[in-house]
Amino acid sequence: MLSRALVGFALLLHVNCKLAPVVTLNDGNLMPAFGLGTWLGTTPSGSLAPVENDEVQRAVEVAIDAGYRHIDTAAIYSTEEQVGLAVRNKIKQGVIKREDIFITTKLWNDHHAREDVPKGLDSSLRKLGMEYVDLYLIHFPIGTYPNMTDDHTDYLDTWRSMIELKERGLTRSVGVSNFNVAMLERLTAETGVVPAVLQVEISLTIQQPSLLAYCRAHNISVVGYTPFGTLFLHNKTAPPPRVDSPELVAIAQRHNKTVPQIVLRYVYELGVTPIPKSVKKSRIEQNLDIFDFELSEEERQQLSSYDQNYRSLDLSLWKHHPYYPFEQ
């Protein structure tokens, strides 16, 4: 009787804690197709927002309880310690095992030299308190020294060092972020190792159809950052749509969902793994709740119409760098 009640309770918990679908990467590893971002963004003056309290740790704990099994961090975010604490707490509490959760971190631009790459991962692993990560990404093809001058290390050398880290078991998979098609082709042609993942900006204003087609054809799994794009901006000069756009509100009402959920579902239906960031419990829970409905062809067409190759993340300070990846 008691055990039946416990089973019932466990089932109930399971129903309340719906997990995202999983994709198989080109190296055979599995990646949950939805994750939590942990970058706190920039201040109005453009510098990195300081990490001042334990809000990221609390967000990651809430996310794991809600069913997130994929967390995105990076050395430059200064949130690796908090991600690590949260994950280790949830392991201690018996909510997850290490192998149930997919942890991504990223090599910063000041560690591109071949001998610095292992130091970058070693530092991240120590901060996370983990023996391995699931995915290690080159954050940008652009090298910069700590004094912010350009480092012209070829990203191909950086990539060779990444491959060695995978062979040593310190990361299960390796990939890149903010690379363009020509750069992806060069990595593959020169090393024979196709990145398992490309992480790039994907939102309504930058849907990158040709980049996605290339990745689909080469079995590179795309993770989409800044999925909300300009949705919450008050700045009138940034392109539409906004969260109160009547077209988006109509789609949301039709599905009894919120506009942010519609945007995340659309990104997911493009074949992309969204990694929205939130530190607020209700939003963390809401954002994951997109796996019980589908957009219609007409709705997808409406949503595709906002694409105008507009980046929210302005990287033009590196425009002069020989490995600047973008057209503008």
Ligand X SMILES: NC(=O)c1ccc[n+]([C@@H]2O[C@H](COP(=O)([O-])OP(=O)(O)OC[C@H]3O[C@@H](n4cnc5c(N)ncnc54)[C@H](OP(=O)(O)O)[C@@H]3O)[C@@H](O)[C@H]2O)c1
> Which residues are catalytically annotated?
77
Q: Does 16 bind ligand NAG (CB under 6 A)?
A: no
Nearer Cβ to ligand X (25/318): 318
Closer residue to ligand NAG, CB minimum distance, 92 or 234: 234
Q: How far is the CB of 6 from ligand X (least distance, A)?
A: 34
The one among 45, 47, 256, 328 contacting ligand NAG by CB under 6 A:
256
Per residue, what are the HEC states of the chain? CHHHHHHHHHHHHHHHCCCCCEEECCCCCEEECCCEECCCCECCCCCECCCCCCHHHHHHHHHHHHCCCEEECCHHHCCHHHHHHHHHHHHHCCCCCHHHCEEEEEECHHHCCCCCHHHHHHHHHHHHCCCCEEEEEECCCCEECCCCCEECCCHHHHHHHHHHHHHCCCEEEEEEECCCHHHHHHHHHHHCCCCCEEEEECECCECCHHHHHHHHHCCCEEEEECCCCCCCCCCCCCCCCCCCCHHHHHHHHHHCCCHHHHHHHHHHHCCEEECCECCCHHHHHHHHCCCCCCCCHHHHHHHHCCCCCCCCCCCHHHCCCCCCCCCC
Chosen from ligand NAG, ligand X, none, partner binding at 124 (C-beta under 5 to 8 Å by type): none
Q: Which is nearer to ligand X, 85 or 200 (CB)?
A: 200
Site for ligand NAG (CB under 6 A): which residue of 28, 46, 169, 192?
28
Instruction: Please select the residue that binds ligand NAG; options are 3, 45, 47, 149, rule is CB under 6 A.
Output: 149
- Quick one: 218 or 281, whose CB is closer to ligand X? 281
Distance, in Å, from the CA atom of 224 to the CA atom of 279, rounded to the nearest integer, reads: 18
Residues 70-129 that bind ligand X (CB under 6 A): 72
In the list ligand X, ligand NAG, none, the entry touching 253 (Cβ below 5 to 8 angstroms by class) is: none
Binding range to ligand NAG, per CB under 6 A, among 49-57, 96-104, 179-187, 232-240: 232-240
280 binds ligand X (CB under 6 A): yes
Count of CB atoms situated within 10 Å of the CB of 294: 11
Contact call for residue 24 and ligand NAG (CB under 6 A): yes
Q: If binding is defined by CB under 6 A, does position 94 make contact with ligand NAG?
A: no
147 contacts ligand NAG (rule: CB under 6 A): yes
Chain centre to alpha carbon of residue 18: 19
User: Does 175 help bind ligand X (rule: CB under 6 A)?
Assistant: no
Q: What residue number has its CB nearest to ligand X?
A: 37
Pick what 24 binds: ligand NAG, ligand X, none; C-beta below 5 to 8 Å, kind-dependent.
Answer: ligand NAG
Residue 199 near which of ligand X, ligand NAG, none (CB within 5-8 Å, type-dependent):
ligand X
Contacting positions for ligand X (CB under 6 A): 37-39, 41, 72, 139, 177-178, 199, 225-228, 232, 260, 275-280, 283, 286-287, 313
